[in-house]
């Protein structure tokens, strides 16, 4: 079998592949058309961030069985296209954690003490002591947005500098925050209380532009902002204006919306420190991820062992046909539950009823946890690390089994808890393979869990459904399906509308304002 290495990795990684008995070609710097022309020859593909594995490339990959990313981010891989074609997509989570955390701390020092600016000044023959007046980190408040692996490592190092560390993470609960020695706050509180803000979240619809003109206005005058996570989390134009006005005293940026940045006004400002996406660029980190991805690909191609796959659970091949429908159902239920539950969950119980209680539930439970975490964490959570991430965030995962599935042959349910707050979502398989959501708390429903869903809690009154349909029709949004449930006639009801295109924020606000609409959720599956 043949493996193509299309981006530069440590030679030690290439050697591992060869020792496993694989033929290896190292061809870096190829253009997309060159990769498309040759990819059909290979069983495995090793990449970093430069190679873009598009749906077009995957379509041309007739033999490809596995794509391995030496690193964690997979923005450059069309995972949906790979999954449809049965190609396993792997990454190497954790290999860059310490390196990226250290770079964030380095950027923290650089923006506080103006080190790059002072260096440039001296190298031009100047001695400008008064110009480069900095600020201490000691006793300052560092706000960390996203307390996953990297954010947690940054917190530890900031505590060593005797900074006050506060953090916001949608999955962070009080117990986990206490263990890490940080104070849990809301995002608004973090923005208003921090002297320095560093972001460590994936780039998602929820985090895109989370730092913008509106949120910057709520920050302290003279705040300093660091981003070593993903470009786009900060609205670059809004940051530029705030830096020019002095509202933000300085920024340290390792990532940009467009890389490399072209004609980016941020690069013209003296109070901006920047590096060319160096977060993972240490000899140790690059060797770690190269060795890891090579071992994973060799294990899969030569032994059939799947590790750190982001699109497939690690289960025996002969169990796949029976388990796959349940895995799909559980992941859909997790994603659905995550988007209707507000706050940081402390406990998730996965209930298996009827024939579902007789299967190998371990990978199905992992799928449920992955589904629950994915709406926020996206590519950083997979079938391998989902249990670890849940544990890191103080989420206890339980299983229960029962032979009784009521009116159904089988059923899987998720019970989400945080203190006294609880949410319950249950589903089943139609025709033994098609997932359906059949229960949302006390409401009986029959929902196809896919695409854009509008979940509306409303009073059971005439005209509610007509109002929703009319509004969407006026906006040119086609309704694919509608599902209803109610507690009792005239009481509370829910309406679940599946639409073909995502409604704009303006349309969502208009739905909320409709008569008898009590609350509203926009769910994406």
Residue range 479-517, pLDDT digits in tens = 999 988 887 888 889 999 999 998 998 999 999 999 999
The third-level CATH classification (topology) of the domain covering 313-433 is 60s Ribosomal Protein L30; Chain: A; (3.30.1330)
Q: What is the pLDDT of residue 380?
A: 66
Q: In 3-state terms, what secondary structure has residue 234?
A: strand
Q: What is the pLDDT of residue 314?
A: 63
DSSP string, 72-126: S--TTB-HHHHHHTT-EEE--TTTTHHHHHHHHHHHHHHHHHTHHHHHHHHHTT-
What tokens appear for 405 in the block?
């599935």
Give me the active site residues, please. Answer: 230, 259, 277
List the pLDDT tens digit at each of the 525 positions of the chain: 999 999 999 999 999 999 999 999 999 999 999 999 999 999 999 999 889 999 999 999 999 999 999 987 788 999 878 877 778 899 987 788 999 999 999 999 999 999 999 999 999 999 999 999 999 999 999 999 999 889 999 999 999 999 999 999 988 888 889 999 999 999 999 999 999 999 999 888 789 999 999 999 999 999 999 999 999 999 999 999 999 999 999 999 999 999 899 899 999 999 999 999 999 889 999 899 999 999 999 999 998 778 888 877 666 656 767 888 999 999 999 999 999 988 789 999 999 999 999 999 988 999 999 999 988 776 567 776 788 788 888 899 999 999 999 889 999 999 999 888 899 999 999 988 899 999 999 899 999 999 999 999 999 999 888 999 999 999 999 999 998 888 788 888 999 999 999 899 899 999 999 999 998 899 998
Superfamily of domain 450-525: ACT domain (3.30.70.260)
Q: In the CATH scheme, what is the code of domain 1-94+280-312?
A: 3.40.50.720
Contacts of 60 (CB under 8 A, 6+ apart): 36, 37, 39, 40
The answer to whether residues 212 and 257 touch, using CB atoms and an 8 Å cutoff, is no
Q: What is the pLDDT of residue 376?
A: 78
Residues of the chain with CATH 3.30.70.260: 450-525
Q: What is the pLDDT of residue 378?
A: 65
Q: What is the pLDDT of residue 377?
A: 76
Q: In what order do the strands lie in the sheet with 492-499?
A: 479-486, 492-499, 452-459, 517-524
Four-residue CA torsion sign, 201, 205, 207, 209: positive
Residues of the chain with CATH 3.40.50.720: 1-94+280-312, 97-274
Q: Which residue has the tokens 């770079």?
A: 103
Contacts of 363 (CB under 8 A, 6+ apart): 313, 314, 315, 323, 327, 383
Maximum separation of any 2 CA atoms in the chain, in Å = 82
Q: What is the pLDDT of residue 384?
A: 63
Arch. (CATH architecture) of 97-274:
3-Layer(aba) Sandwich (3.40)
The answer to whether residues 412 and 356 touch, using CB atoms and an 8 Å cutoff, is yes
What tokens appear for 173 in the block?
């609960």
Phi-psi domain of 21 (left: phi exceeds 0; alpha: psi -120 through 50; beta: other)? left
Phi, psi of 315 (to 5 degrees): -135, 155
Closest among 456, 353, 462 to 399, alpha carbons compared = 353
Strands 347-354 and 164-168: unpaired
């Amino acid at each position: 079998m043949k493996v193509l290495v299309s981006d530069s990795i440590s030679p030690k990684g290439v050697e591992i592949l060869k020792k496993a008995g694989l033929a290896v070609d190292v061809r870096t710097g190829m253009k997309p058309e060159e990769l498309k022309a040759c990819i059909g020859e290979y069983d495995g593909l090793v990449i970093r961030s430069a190679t873009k594995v598009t749906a077009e490339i995957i379509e041309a990959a007739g033999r490809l069985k596995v794509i391995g990313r030496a690193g964690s981010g997979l923005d450059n891989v069309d995972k949906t296209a790979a999954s449809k074609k049965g190609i396993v997509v792997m990454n190497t989570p954790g290999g860059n954690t310490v390196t990226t955390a250290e770079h964030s701390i380095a950027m923290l020092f650089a923006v506080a003490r103006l080190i790059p600016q002072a260096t440039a000044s001296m190298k031009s023959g100047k001695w400008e002591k008064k110009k480069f007046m900095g600020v201490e980190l000691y006793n300052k408040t560092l706000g960390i947005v996203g307390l996953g692996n990297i954010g947690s490592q940054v917190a530890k190092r900031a505590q060593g500098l005797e900074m006050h560390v506060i953090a916001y993470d949608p999955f962070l609960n009080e117990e986990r925050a206490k263990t890490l020695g940080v104070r849990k706050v809301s995002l608004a509180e973090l923005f208003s209380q921090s002297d320095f803000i560093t972001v460590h979240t994936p780039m998602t619809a929820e985090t895109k532009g989370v730092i913008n003109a509106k949120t910057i206005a709520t920050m302290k005058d003279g705040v300093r902002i660091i981003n070593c996570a993903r470009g786009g989390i900060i609205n670059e134009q809004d940051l530029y204006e705030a830096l020019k006005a002095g509202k933000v005293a300085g920024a340290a940026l390792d990532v940009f919306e467009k890389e490399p940045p072209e004609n980016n006004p941020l690069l013209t400002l003296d109070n901006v420190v920047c590096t060319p996406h160096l977060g993972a660029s240490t000899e140790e980190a690059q060797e770690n991820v190269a060795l890891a991805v090579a071992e994973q690909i060799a294990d899969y191609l030569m032994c059939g062992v799947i590790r750190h796959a982001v699109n497939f659970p690690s289960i025996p091949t002969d169990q796949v046909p029976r388990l796959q429908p349940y895995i799909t159902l559980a992941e859909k239920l997790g994603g659905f539950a995550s988007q209707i539950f507000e706050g940081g969950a402390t406990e998730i119980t996965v209930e298996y009823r009827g024939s579902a209680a007789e299967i190998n539930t371990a990978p199905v439970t992992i799928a449920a946890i992955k589904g629950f975490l994915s709406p926020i964490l996206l590519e950083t959570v997979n079938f391998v690390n989902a249990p670890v991430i849940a544990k890191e965030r103080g989420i206890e995962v339980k299983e229960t089994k029962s032979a009784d599935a009521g009116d159904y042959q089988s059923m899987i349910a998720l019970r989400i808890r945080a203190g006294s707050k609880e949410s319950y979502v249950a589903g089943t398989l139609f025709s033994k393979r098609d997932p359906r959501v059949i229960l949302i708390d006390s409401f009986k429903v029959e929902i196809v869990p896919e695409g854009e869903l509008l979940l509306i809690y409303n009073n059971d009154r005439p005209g509610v459904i007509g109002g929703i349909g009319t509004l969407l029709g006026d906006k040119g949004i086609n309704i694919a399906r509608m599902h209803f449930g109610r507690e009792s006639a005239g009481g509370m009801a829910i309406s679940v509308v599946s639409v073909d295109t995502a409604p704009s924020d303006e349309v969502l606000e208009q739905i909320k304002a409709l008569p008898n609409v009590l609350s509203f959720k926009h769910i994406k599956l």
